[in-house]
Each structure stands twice: as structure tokens, then as C-alpha cells.
Amino acid sequence: MTPACSRVMAVTDPTMPLPLEGLLAGGCPLEIEIGCGNGRFLAARAKKQPQTLFLGIERMLSRVRKLDKKARRLGLDNIRILRLEAFYTFYYLLPPHRARAVYVFFPDPWPKRHHHNRRLFSPLFIDALWARLEIGGTIQIATDHQEYFSDTRKRLAADPRFAEIPSMERDESEQTDFEMLFRRQSLPIGQCAFRSLPHTETPLPPLMIDESDEPRERG
Ligand SMILES: C[S@@+](CC[C@H](N)C(=O)[O-])C[C@H]1O[C@@H](n2cnc3c(N)ncnc32)[C@H](O)[C@@H]1O
């Protein structure tokens, strides 16, 4: 991997899959964290596994900048950051069956029922997740939101493309910022993990724009 000054990836052609292969020398493993925040987990893993490329997807600019700064300060050349929306990235931009692991720690829970359609773990996201994971690749999930946790776990457990496995062990250095906050408050944290299984490949369906997503006047 060629060290770059900034670890933030430029998307030069959004009509094409991301040019990750140039970064993945010799077919090195790719691991992706969605909503990586300030990157505490990602940086700790990247330090431990220098031969793996770690891609953080985060849409909040201040967090992207913090992680970029941290990766440069620590000389972590195996981190790349995408300031993009994760569903879009999975659906359109990532190469097929390439990620060895995907991590989703403390995703926005969107607790109100009428906001549930904004949650990451929709049926279409799960299709895209399977299509981007290597066969045998893993998804690790943690959240403090019990209802979102059991809903997501149920969805994946009922999906023939995934099998539940024990969650990974993470030491203190691999806890995320939100996790440390929730642990300090003694909030219960749900964790689960799944492995992707071989399954008939079907193309991701074309997306329909839900009218309820159209901008509306407030009030
Ligand atoms: C609750 S925070 C958790 C951050 C970090 N994982 C942690 O545990 O400290 C959720 C993060 O996911 C990011 N995020 C939420 N939805 C996203 C999406 N669809 N695409 C990219 N980033 C997203 C938010 O900007 C935020 O930084």
C-alpha cells in the first residue's frame, strides 16, 4: 500500500466501482467499518493488522477529519476513509464479494417508529451487505438500542445467506467512543455477528425512490 498524505479517498468516478484494487496489493484483505466516527476502533485494528486495508465510511466531516489526522499521526498507511453515505457506497460503489469483515458499531438507532425506514439495516442494505462480503466474510454489530438490536439480529438470523457466529472479542483499545460512553453509563450493549454463506447470486434490484424521502416543508 502506498502511503498517502491524506487518508481520505477521492471518488473520481461515481459511475464506477471504487478503485480499491490499486490499494489492495497482492489481494490483501479488506475490512470496512460503517459509521466509523472518530475511528478509535479502526485505528486500533489497523495498528494490529498492518497487512489489512481498513476502510472507514463516515458521513460527518468533523469525524472524518479527526480520523484522517489520527491515521497520519500514527503513520497508519493501511487506513482509507470515505466521506460517503454507507448504503449508497455498499449498493453502488464497492466491488463484489471483496470485504473480509464489516463492522457496524452503534449505528444511529432512529428510535421513532416513523423514522425506522432511515435505519441502516433495511432489507436492501442486507442484500448489498451480502453482495460485498466475501463468502465466509463476517459482519460484527454492536448497539445499545435493544429494539434495533433484536430486530437486526432477527432479520439476519432469518436470512439464508447468513449464519450466526460468536461476536468478536474486543479489548479496551478497540472500544468505540460511543461504546465507552454507554459503558460508563452501564447501559446494556447488544452484540452479534454473522458469517456470509454461499447462495445463488442475484443482481441487486434497481432502487425505487420512496416519495416519503422527498423534501417537505417543516411544521
Ligand atoms: C452513533 S455514531 C457511532 C460512531 C462510532 N461507530 C462509535 O461507536 O463511536 C453513528 C455514526 O455513524 C455515522 N453514520 C450514520 N449513518 C451513516 C450513513 N448512512 N453513512 C455514513 N455514516 C453514517 C454518523 O455520522 C456517526 O458518526
The question of whether 108 is a catalytic residue gets the answer yes
- Type of residue found at 182: F
Q: Is the pLDDT of residue 1 over 90?
A: no
Does residue 54 lie within any of the structural domains? no
Q: Is the pLDDT of residue 20 over 70?
A: yes
Cα 77 to averaged position of ligand 1 atoms, centre (Å) = 22
* Mean pLDDT over each residue of the chain, to the nearest integer: 92
Write out the residue range of the structural domain in which residue 149 sits.
42-49+85-201
- Tell me which residue of 6, 185, 20 sits closest to 94, measured CA to CA: 20
Q: Whose CA is nearest to atom 25 of ligand 1?
A: 60
Does residue 145 lie within any of the structural domains? yes
Q: Catalytic one among 68, 77, 108, 127?
A: 108
Cα 178 to averaged position of ligand 1 atoms, centre (Å) = 10
Q: Whose CA is nearest to atom 3 of ligand 1?
A: 106
With a 6 Å cutoff on the Cβ, whether 170 touches ligand 1 is no
Q: Is the pLDDT of residue 131 over 90?
A: yes
Q: Can you name the residues that pair with 103 across neighbouring β-strands? A: 33, 140
- State the pTM of this model: 0.92
Does residue 63 lie within any of the structural domains? no
Does residue 121 lie within any of the structural domains? yes
Does residue 106 lie within any of the structural domains? yes
Does residue 197 lie within any of the structural domains? yes
Q: Count the domains in the chain.
A: 1
CA distance 158 to 142: 18
- The average pLDDT across 89-118 equals 95
Does residue 178 lie within any of the structural domains? yes
Cα 85 to averaged position of ligand 1 atoms, centre (Å) = 10
Does residue 33 lie within any of the structural domains? no
- The average pLDDT across 88-93 equals 95
CATH number of the domain bearing residue 96: 3.40.50.150
- 119 pLDDT band (50/70/90 cuts)? very high
- The average pLDDT across 166-178 equals 97
